[in-house]
Amino acid sequence: MTQLDIANLLGVTQQAVGKWERGLSAPDYDALVKLSNLYHVSTDYLLGQKSKEFSNKLEYARALLAELEKEEQQEPVIHAGYKIPVLGCVAAGQPIFADDNVVGYEYIESKYQNDGYKYYALRIKGESMTPTIMDGDTVIVRQQYTCDSGQIAIVLVDCEDATAKEVRIQDDGITLIGHNVLVYSPHFYSRQEVDDGKIKVIGLVVETRRKFI
């Protein structure tokens, strides 16, 4: 992964990742935990503490294998949280939670269940938001009809299927921005087009999930 890929996954700047790599600064606790989860290693390993417990690399490797075998013998993880539908698409004129749209389910933290919003997940198609959101990723969406400038939202354009884009709000309209300019160049919509419903925000992206198998 590039520095930008890691920065987007951790919610930090690319400059911060560069400083970590050059030893000019260190990640804070939250970033350290996210890095350990990303690379499937312990925080002690990232901090260089784990290897100091062993006299040589072979002993360390044997200890890691023992930990992996122990993890494989543990009971399977039981999902906990709030179950929401995964939609294959969202189109204008259709009920957003129509059975024909549901292609699966995801679990999100229970705290979302009582915050007054409805949530759904959306399977992303296309590469217009690469590398922030990849083709095949699942985004967790909070159903709402406004967003702040700079946020990634689910929008309906010209009454077609919904799309995920960064929304930039200006006095005279809004611009939809894809993070892969080779696939999607910025599209501007005037205030009149917004008022006429040519473009409509229908949800805010709050989380991205990626499966490798």
In this structure, what DSSP letter does residue 132 have? T
Question: In angstroms, rounded to a whole number, what is the distance separating the alpha carbons of residues 149 and 169?
Answer: 5
Question: In angstroms, rounded to a whole number, what is the distance separating the alpha carbons of residues 189 and 177?
Answer: 11
Catalytic residue among 125, 128, 200, 211: 128
128 catalytic per annotation: yes
- The 10s digit of each residue's pLDDT in 110-141 is 888 888 899 999 988 888 999 999 988 999 99
For residue 206, give both structure tokens. 């709050």
pTM above 0.85, yes or no: no
Share of the chain above pLDDT 90, in %: 32
Q: Dump strand ranges (E) for 57-142.
A: 82-87, 102-108, 119-123, 138-142
pLDDT at 125: 86
Catalytic residue among 50, 55, 165, 185: 165
Q: Which residue has the higher pLDDT, 200 or 96?
A: 200
149 catalytic per annotation: no
- Do the Cβ atoms of 128 and 103 come closer than 8 Å? no
- Listed range (14-18, 34-38, 134-138, 162-166) with the worst mean pLDDT: 34-38
**What are the chain's domains?**
3-72 (1.10.260.40), 82-209 (2.10.109.10)
Query: What is the distance, to the nearest Å, from the Cα of residue 36 to the centroid of all Cα atoms in its chain?
Result: 17
